[in-house]
Structure 1
Amino acid sequence: MKKSYLFILFCFLFIQKGFAQWPGKNESTQQILLPNGWKLSPAGYSLQLGDLPLNMQLSPSGKYLAITNNGQSTQSLQLVDPKTEIIIDEKVLSKSWYGIAFSKDEKHLYASGGNDNWILDFNIVNNKLGKSDTITLGPVWPKGKICPAGIVVNKSNSKLFTVTKEDSALYIIDPAAKKILKRVQLPAIAYSCALGADERKLYISIWGGKAVAVVDLQSESIVQQIPVGDHPNELLINKKGNMLYVANANDNTVSVVNTLNNKVIETISTTLYATQLTGSTTNGLALSSNEKTLYIANADNNCLAVFDVSQPGLSQSQGFIPVGWYPTSVKVSGNKILVTNGKGNTSMANPKGPQPISKVDNSDYHMGSTANSRLQYIAGLFKGTLSLIDAPNPEQLKVYTKQVYINTPFTDKRTVIADGEAGNPIPRKQGEKSPIKHVFYIIKENRTYDQVLGDIKKGNGDSTLTLFGRKVTPNQHALAGDFVLLDNFYVDAEVSADGHNWSMAAYATDVVEKTWPTSYGARGGSTNFEGGRPVTYPKGGFIWDYCQRAGISYRSYGEFGSYAKANIKSLQGHMCPASPGFDMDIKDQVRVDAWQHDLIHYW
């Protein structure tokens, strides 16, 4: 009988972040170090945008570029002149999320009002955004749970189509009368929509599934669902209307659909290496002016993948282009490639962040306020950018491709053998023997390495940022001294919502990354990022799913559940019944006592 190792998942519902190296720009290499170990060297030049730009759209003639910023702090709509490459107008919005579309005559710009559950209709006069009107879909959150996402308008401006991410529906609207003509229920939450060239069909990406829904606009009903990859988001139809490109975030792929028969003729892999690992987060698409080249935004690889698509079904990889941090959208204007980078071009420490020793809480925590703009709250700290890149020739693309690989800490060799030294008890290869029988995974949340352990002299940290030193956190310092310091441990998360996913799955899906800022800004929306919503799950599941598949025992002490109640199916029967979940009113000792009792009597 094969003996399986015992794996104990021991969680305090805290996430420890290690900012072990100095973030910022290295003048000798011109690279920008991120807190996750990746580096940036964006091609072209950049224009400063707002907080988390999720989407941009060019007007039909290319005269305007609209950008919607949907982060935790100030949300806004920006109007850019692509020729002069300057922001010509900006409107602060109370709520917004992803959707924007121009009317054919370029006199109107429609934008999602997020959980206010309306479409904002801006008149464009003298290159400025006028006062907005609203097209109401229902009562505002929390009474109404709708949230319009992708928007598209037909050529005659007689119908506006929007899909939603809260009530999973398509709304067909008369924009002039501001009237809902029909609501069509969808199988799961949706992201974007695209009209066929003849405007007889509407294609909808089912973000919460693995399909593109096809709506016949004569009957106004779903007539087909095209199977594609996991978490389809951005859609792109070529000028002829015979090819539909679908970005699949959880699969690192793009599905190419022949719209004449609605069949997938090709699946393009966008990864840097030939690996089945998730994590590139494909989420933006654009065709070159001659439609022979496809540009694909890989959010978590901080790059564009470039493919020759001149022969449908026989696409060829051409290389990669380095861009900013978490690219969310890509467009082409003439010979320029435009990219919105959701988190901008740099990371930074936040010494002026929320201070626990302050007598007054001025953090505006979860409020999305701009009143204390000097306060460096992590959720709204990083501002997006717009990369403007000249379309590269083959030689320049080779240079760009090389730079993308230089910026990337991951290599395909690490899937075969991990870094480390001989004799280390942690196996470097899959299947190697190890004397380790139990693994205790202790997580501490919401503070960086420097803020807690920066005072440890042997560590690679910054003591000037330390808030909770040895006198305040003797237990954490004892663990670091007795076991491992982890001063060079890098993570991608900013807050609890994405942090628990990174800690439990080494990945946070695009659903998590693009929706937590809304709730953290007190703008409504479904939350529960700890197992309560299957749409947020990564493709391979969480660490306990891997244990389950490998036949390794596991147990949770408050992570993704509380006491005996699990938030996720794979943890049912694997929760310590005496261990509480998230609770700021109890001491760590309560958790330790529950674990010690469980260790003696359960194992």
Structure 2
Amino acid sequence: MQVLLLLVAFLLTTLSAFSQKNYITLQVPGRAEFCKIDTAGRSVLPSGRYVTPAGQSLRITNDPFGLALSPDGTKAVTLHDGVLTVLALNGRTQATRVPDYAGKIPSPVSGATFLGVAFAADNRTAYLSNGDKGRVIVFDTETLRATDSISLDGNGYTDSFTSDLLLNGKELLVLDRANFRLVRVDLATKQIKASIPTGRQPFGLAVSPDRKLAFVANVGLYEYPKVPGVTPTNKDTMMLKFPAYGAHTKESREGVEVEGRKIPGLGSPLADEAMSVWLVDLATNKVVSKLKTGVQIGDRTGARMIEEAEVVGGSSPNSIVVGSRYAYVSNATNDNISIIDYRSKKEVGTIPLKIDPKLDRYRGLMPFGLTLTKDQKTLYVALLAFNAVAVVDVQTRKVRGLIPTGWGPTRVALSPDRGDGPGKTLYVTSARGFGAGPNGGKGFVKPPQGTYIGDIQLATFQAIPVPDAAQLATYTKQVLANTYQAVTVTDNGKNPVPVLPRTRTSPIKHIVYITKENRTYDEVFGQLSTGKGDSTLARFGVGVTVKSRISTKRGAVGRTTDQPGDTVTVTAADIMPNHTRVARQFAYSDNFYCDSDASIHGHHWMMGTIPNEWVEANAASAGRFDAFSKAPGRRFPKSSGAIDPEDYNEIGGLWEALERSKISFYNFGQVNEYAGNYEEQFDTTFGAAQPVVFPMPAAAFRHTSRNFAGYNTNVPDQFRMDQFEREFTARWLPNGKKPAKERLPQLITAMLPNDHGAGVRVEDGYPYLHSYMADNDLAVGRMLNFLSRTPYWKDMLVIITEDDPQGGVDHIDAHRSILMMAGPYVKRGYVSHTHANFGSILKVIYNVLGVPYVNQYDQTASLLQDFFTDKPDLRPYDAVLPDVRIFDPVQAMKPYKKNFDWRKIQKGPEMDDRADQRADHYRQQNEGN
């Protein structure tokens, strides 16, 4: 008997060993660390990657997207959002912010800038892009004062927007992105002497050494028309209630009839005006060549498939540097450099930015700023998404190595040649530097720039001695080590999340991905003793005190002390009790970070799209959108809650990946907030209306609800939950003896945005900012209460997160935010300390659903298997009501003449109640009339 038992034990052990498999995964090096800034060592970013900038690093104002060196190499000027920095480069680098925080140095740019800065030959005068103001500012770097300005308006042009610029002898060449033109300005007279048409949204500018040929990189894809019939006075009734079509489709090319009107098409994404490089003969002011650099959308020449996926994003050519014969163009989306022979006026080659065999299959570098050595043998390329500068051997067309930078390098320049030889110092600007760090909490000292995430997150200016081969090899190893580690993970087949996609089947069949708006970890979870929180920052927790000043004006509530009226205090208020309850009952992370600073980034990242240079530069610059302007570029894409065609990655993001893999999905409310949206209380079918014809990503367009209010804080999250429950029930739940009409998709995305917050509205049930949080909290509770009572709960995973953290403060890092998971296969009462970001969430989705990774951020993200168990717990979630003194859902639903039936909500879906289904049917019919 004992021998038999030993034999059985041996066989079980052997079978277990055979059932285990080892997989090599790529994961970020900081997966066991919290975010931190160590300017003298190694900083941990929200992505879990490290930054260790080479050379000397100086922290300057955030988002430097313009850089120029004086001809003698003693000064540099960087251009930020309404700010410039003047740097003295002799000896130890010193920086002066203009305007300064003390208010002694005035702003020369009136809060508007964009990309362009150039130095005059006197090493003193600088020309600055005045961006949205449509001017060029002449600036004295010695006195730190503006001496003149040059307007681009006039001669029939209005609403100009100054983009890149450069000095060309006795003239300035200036791009006007609003009017799609290149402007030539005579510096002696300050008059415009020529306006030359360009492609759409001209962005990058260069000139040949002989000053005879100008090069313009156009990053715009489409010229977006106004919706027919819309005027400034009727926009609330005539705007489109839902996008007319998906991008790059027959409908988007030719137009379509919707909502009783013929909506014009956008034409072909392959048009000469779209994402191209134009060459302009400065002797004749004629465009002499229009080149489509990089990989093209739906390429028809045989290069249609890249990495087994069709190309959906344009190449985004953005920066140009010119040698004696060749010009080099950075194609951000393609991770490559185009080579143009400008004598023949043709593209003659491509430099693929291959850096590591483990990474090269995926995109994730985003080449941006360029500079070329005087001998034209070496090209330096700022890799915006890779935190490095690539050193490229021009002759072999290969990457020689990488130099570590701060987070998000934007521009790179070489010190000018001197008598002792070629430039020996490389200067690099990085948009986010070492990261943000904490912006509140015990012991936090408010810095002069403030506490908002975009202000506290300083940029870096690096001065790096040009490395020799040995130093470059060391730098290269450091960059790769900062980015990922190859980790062997043993998979015994038990964890519901496979180690890699398509290695085995997960018991999780359905994922619901809920995204919310703008909250940090500490302000919601700071009270939880099981996590690393600061309870003093938990203003939206439980048992908190809420104060507000009520204005004497009827129906208005203010939150500033200068308003008249009495102070109202509510004590022991539970603002977001469902968040706390879900976190305690299921699992949450105290080490999750949004990669984003704001919505314009966040809605890209969380849908699997890396923001490109167009997104980043626009986010860092004020720009007036005007649907009715004569300047076509004023109808420019700058979505905060959607993804524009100019932003699409080469093979897309989450939507496209799911569709390629034939994974069923459905979207409630994502990608709804386009530039110029009109968001009113009764815009409830989509949440917003459009005055301009912007397309939706085609994959999302095909799978998005037409009756769910996306981002619009005028609409209660309770209304959204009613919409969600109604459509979910009608589509995917059985009715009596009848089976469900459709099979529940494998992935559902849903937006619950009201924790963004908005102005107080007493009459609508929002007497405090906290009211929006409570509304959102109740919706989250309702979502889980509902889902956990459906037949799908047994194999469901619910993921809950935020799009960005900009609304609050946190004592660990301004990027730290909320990540909760719930479902039968999620551990109960668990806190994950694994460093996580949006890439980690997407990695869970891709691994569970068997979808190949899309980009390097998915590929290298932390693996979050620690959240899960192989022993399912099917207990449902019971929602609770937040404090009615803070938010009254009955009052919030009154404008819509809808009841809030808490008892019915608590019961969950009544799948077999035909009477209820009949009543709901007629209610929907009446609403449609």
Match of 1:217 among 279, 282, 294: 282
1:563 paired to 2:685: yes
Q: Secondary structure at the residue paired with 1:513?
A: helix
Q: Are the structure 2 counterparts of residues 352 and 172 from structure 1 closer, same or farther at C-alpha, using a change threshold of 3 Å?
A: farther
Match of 1:137 among 152, 156, 160: 152
Query: Does 30-39 or 419-428 show the bigger shift?
Result: 419-428
Q: Deviations for 1:24-68, whole angstroms, at most 9, x for unmatched residues?
A: 2469x9211112211111111112322311121123333432221
Indicate if the aligned counterparts of 1:545 and 1:570 stay in contact, CA closer than 8 A: yes
Indicate if the aligned counterparts of 1:204 and 1:214 stay in contact, CA closer than 8 A: yes
Report how many residues are paired: 549
Indicate if the aligned counterparts of 1:270 and 1:296 stay in contact, CA closer than 8 A: no
**Residue matched to 1:46:** 57
**Residue matched to 1:328:** 410
**Residue matched to 2:459:** 384
Indicate if the aligned counterparts of 1:352 and 1:376 stay in contact, CA closer than 8 A: no
Provide the C-alpha distance between the structure 1 equivalents of 2:89 and 2:715, rounded to a whole number of angstroms.
55
Indicate if the aligned counterparts of 1:340 and 1:387 stay in contact, CA closer than 8 A: yes
Match of 1:516 among 600, 603, 619: 619
Match of 1:458 among 530, 539, 558: 530
Q: Are the structure 2 counterparts of residues 419 and 326 from structure 1 closer, same or farther at C-alpha, using a change threshold of 3 Å?
A: farther
Match of 1:32 among 32, 40, 43: 43
Matched letter for residue 258 of structure 1: D
The structural deviation recorded for 1:397 is 1.5
Provide the C-alpha distance between the structure 2 equivalents of 1:39 and 1:268, rounded to a whole number of angstroms.
27
1:132-281 aligned within 5 A: 132-138=147-153, 144-155=158-169, 157=170, 159-208=171-220, 209-229=274-294, 230-238=315-323, 241-270=324-353, 272-274=355-357, 275-281=360-366
Q: Are the structure 2 counterparts of residues 195 and 347 from structure 1 closer, same or farther at C-alpha, using a change threshold of 3 Å?
A: same
Indicate if the aligned counterparts of 2:365 and 2:383 stay in contact, CA closer than 8 A: yes
Q: Deviations for 1:59-92, whole angstroms, at most 9, x for unmatched residues?
A: 333343222122xxx5224253355533478453
Indicate if the aligned counterparts of 1:20 and 1:449 stay in contact, CA closer than 8 A: no
Q: Secondary structure at the residue paired with 1:441?
A: strand
**Residue matched to 1:97:** 114
Provide the C-alpha distance between the structure 1 equivalents of 2:206 and 2:186, rounded to a whole number of angstroms.
17
**Residue matched to 1:424:** 495
Match of 1:295 among 380, 385, 399: 380
Q: Deviations for 1:162-182, whole angstroms, at most 9, x for unmatched residues?
A: 113333221122222222222
Q: Are the structure 2 counterparts of residues 22 and 539 from structure 1 closer, same or farther at C-alpha, using a change threshold of 3 Å?
A: same
The structural deviation recorded for 1:464 is 4.8
Q: Secondary structure at the residue paired with 2:517?
A: strand
Q: Are the structure 2 counterparts of residues 320 and 461 from structure 1 closer, same or farther at C-alpha, using a change threshold of 3 Å?
A: farther
Q: Deviations for 1:465-517, whole angstroms, at most 9, x for unmatched residues?
A: 43322532222334434554144444310111111111112422221122123
1:343 paired to 2:343: no
Q: Are the structure 2 counterparts of residues 318 and 169 from structure 1 closer, same or farther at C-alpha, using a change threshold of 3 Å?
A: same
1:445 paired to 2:517: yes
The structural deviation recorded for 1:435 is 3.0
1:494 paired to 2:591: no
Q: Secondary structure at the residue paired with 1:580?
A: coil
Matched letter for residue 438 of structure 1: H
**Residue matched to 1:307:** 392
1:106-121 aligned within 5 A: 106=123, 108-121=125-138
Q: Secondary structure at the residue paired with 1:452?
A: helix
Matched letter for residue 544 of structure 1: W
The structural deviation recorded for 1:584 is 2.0
The structural deviation recorded for 1:534 is 1.8
Provide the C-alpha distance between the structure 2 equivalents of 1:298 and 1:328, rounded to a whole number of angstroms.
7
The structural deviation recorded for 1:187 is 2.3
Q: Deviations for 1:269-312, whole angstroms, at most 9, x for unmatched residues?
A: 33543434232121111233543322211122111111222x2x
Matched letter for residue 382 of structure 1: Q
Provide the C-alpha distance between the structure 1 equivalents of 2:697 and 2:286, rounded to a whole number of angstroms.
34
**Residue matched to 1:590:** 719
Matched letter for residue 428 of structure 1: V
Match of 1:402 among 461, 464, 477: 477
The structural deviation recorded for 1:19 is 12
Q: Are the structure 2 counterparts of residues 343 and 520 from structure 1 closer, same or farther at C-alpha, using a change threshold of 3 Å?
A: farther
Provide the C-alpha distance between the structure 2 equivalents of 1:472 and 1:520, rounded to a whole number of angstroms.
36
The structural deviation recorded for 1:541 is 2.5
1:526-565 aligned within 5 A: 527-531=638-642, 533-561=644-672, 563-564=685-686
Q: Deviations for 1:204-249, whole angstroms, at most 9, x for unmatched residues?
A: 11122442111112221222122223111121112xx212121121
Q: Secondary structure at the residue paired with 2:510?
A: coil
Provide the C-alpha distance between the structure 2 equivalents of 1:527 and 1:506, rounded to a whole number of angstroms.
15
Indicate if the aligned counterparts of 1:257 and 1:265 stay in contact, CA closer than 8 A: yes
Indicate if the aligned counterparts of 2:61 and 2:97 stay in contact, CA closer than 8 A: no
Q: Deviations for 1:387-422, whole angstroms, at most 9, x for unmatched residues?
A: 11111122222221121122113x6x69xx999774
Indicate if the aligned counterparts of 1:21 and 1:461 stay in contact, CA closer than 8 A: no
Quick check: which has more Rg, 1 or 2? 2
Indicate if the aligned counterparts of 2:184 and 2:194 stay in contact, CA closer than 8 A: yes
Provide the C-alpha distance between the structure 1 equivalents of 2:492 and 2:161, rounded to a whole number of angstroms.
51
In proportion to residue count, which structure has more strand? 1
Q: Are the structure 2 counterparts of residues 336 and 170 from structure 1 closer, same or farther at C-alpha, using a change threshold of 3 Å?
A: same
The structural deviation recorded for 1:592 is 2.2
The structural deviation recorded for 1:352 is 7.3
Matched letter for residue 710 of structure 2: G
Gaps of 5+ in 2: 1-29, 100-106, 221-273, 295-314, 416-422, 543-573, 627-633, 673-683, 690-694, 733-929
Indicate if the aligned counterparts of 2:205 and 2:217 stay in contact, CA closer than 8 A: yes
Provide the C-alpha distance between the structure 1 equivalents of 2:38 and 2:140, rounded to a whole number of angstroms.
45
The structural deviation recorded for 1:319 is 1.5
Matched letter for residue 47 of structure 1: L
Indicate if the aligned counterparts of 1:149 and 1:191 stay in contact, CA closer than 8 A: yes
Q: TM-score, normalised by structure 2?
A: 0.55
Provide the C-alpha distance between the structure 2 equivalents of 1:328 and 1:542, rounded to a whole number of angstroms.
23
Q: Are the structure 2 counterparts of residues 136 and 144 from structure 1 closer, same or farther at C-alpha, using a change threshold of 3 Å?
A: same
Indicate if the aligned counterparts of 1:343 and 1:384 stay in contact, CA closer than 8 A: yes
**Residue matched to 2:917:** none
Q: TM-score, normalised by structure 1?
A: 0.83
